[in-house]
Structure 1
Amino acid sequence: MVTVNVKRNEQNGIEEITISGHANAGKHGSDIVCAAVSAISLGLINSVDLLLGSNPDVQFADKEGGFINWKVGCHQDPLVSEKQQLLAESMVVSLFMIAETNGRYVSIQDPKWQGGV
């Protein structure tokens, strides 16, 4: 199962997103749930990097995959921080949509969206 953990600050902003595990919804290389989670998470992190130029603090697992940790944090420029938060929230909402239709394979823990989106 893919587990998504969202850590928030006192203002309800995202501090950290950790994605771990494998969906195991299909054979390796044919698992569309895992592919969807990967595409959303990597696409949005790359957007932060390329569109905002903020060099996100991201850690990935070894070649086995199955682990991404993004420390969203604050940027010196408040506008960049705001946009980074919007992209992080977009990632969480998109992952919730996957979990909504594939709950056997994706679990999300987020204090803001405890009951779902």
Structure 2
Amino acid sequence: MVEVRFLRKNERLVSYSIDGHAEYSEPGSDIVCAAVSALAITIYNGIDEILKIPNLCDTKDDGYLAVSIDSAEASDQDKAQLLLETLKLGIEQMKSSYEEYINLIIEEV
């Protein structure tokens, strides 16, 4: 099961992480993992390359990705909300179709 975790602070999404594998099908043909990964990387690219918001990004060879804008200025965090909320919505919609393969956690910190 792939775990997707969002952290919300002061009503703003400030980080997300993706860990594990969906195990929907064999590695390399797992559409759930591919979809989650594509969304997560696209949103990271938007934050980093388009909005140019300072962030921390951590990756590992096993598919782990963590992105945080917690240390960014409040105005930059506000700019990123559209992207982060879009990612959360996309994951929620995927979870509704593939519930047994995605664990979604939203925490207030």
The residue that corresponds to 1:4 in the other structure is: 4
The residue that corresponds to 1:22 in the other structure is: 21
Question: How many matched pairs?
Answer: 108
| CA shift for structure 1 position 77 | 6.7
| CA shift for structure 1 position 76 | 3.2
Q: Does the Cα contact within 8 Å between 1:40 and 1:91 map onto a contact in 2? A: yes
Q: What aligned pairs does 1:73-112 form with structure 2 within 5 A after superposition?
A: 73-76=70-73, 78=75, 80-111=76-107
Unaligned runs of 5+ in 1: 113-117
Residue by residue, what CA displacement relative to the aligned partner does 1:14-62 show, whole Å, maximum 9, x if unpaired? 122121100010111100000000000000100111111124211011x
The residue that corresponds to 1:43 in the other structure is: 42
Unaligned runs of 5+ in 2: none
Q: Which amino acid aligns with 2:26?
A: K
| Structure 1 or 2: more strand by fraction | 2
What is the TM-score with the length of structure 1 in the denominator? 0.83
CA distance in 2, matches of 1:83, 1:15: 11
Please provide the CA RMSD for this pair: 1.7
Extract structure 1 runs of 4+ deviating beyond 2 A: 74-77
